[in-house]
Amino acid sequence: STISVGHCFYFRGGAELLFDGVKKHQVTLPCQPEPWDIRNLLRWIRQNLLKERPELFMQGESVRPGILVLINDADWELMGELDYKLQDQDNVLFISTLHGG
């Protein structure tokens, strides 16, 4: 579908510090011919939301180890990870489990 869809993205556990301290982003993704999947979403987040130090959030085309991803409260590993196709109103939660100093 080419309909733009609305989502909430949440950043917790320190991940929000890479996004100007904002923990919740309500986003309508731009229309595109193919459905949005997590791979495309991460690229979009890096280009549009991420404010600093992308290497602390991304590694290659995925999130870096130590960042937990939940889609509607389910572990993304159960949902197909990067290949999961976003549905309208999905909530995606990114939790950093890395606590450095």
| CATH annotation of 9-27+37-96 | 3.10.20.30
Q: Is the pLDDT assigned to residue 86 strictly greater than 50?
A: yes
Distance, C-alpha 62 to centroid of its chain: 10
Contacts of 45 (CB under 8 A, 6+ apart): 9, 57
Domain ranges of the chain: 9-27+37-96
Residue 30 — very low, low, confident or very high, per pLDDT cuts 50/70/90? confident
Span 56-79, pLDDT tens digits: 999 999 999 999 999 999 999 999
Structure-token pair, residue 20: 């100007």
Write down the mean pLDDT value for the chain. 90
Pairing of the two strands 6-12 and 91-96: parallel
In angstroms, what CA-CA distances link 94 with 61, 70, 71, 90, 98?
A: 15, 7, 9, 13, 12
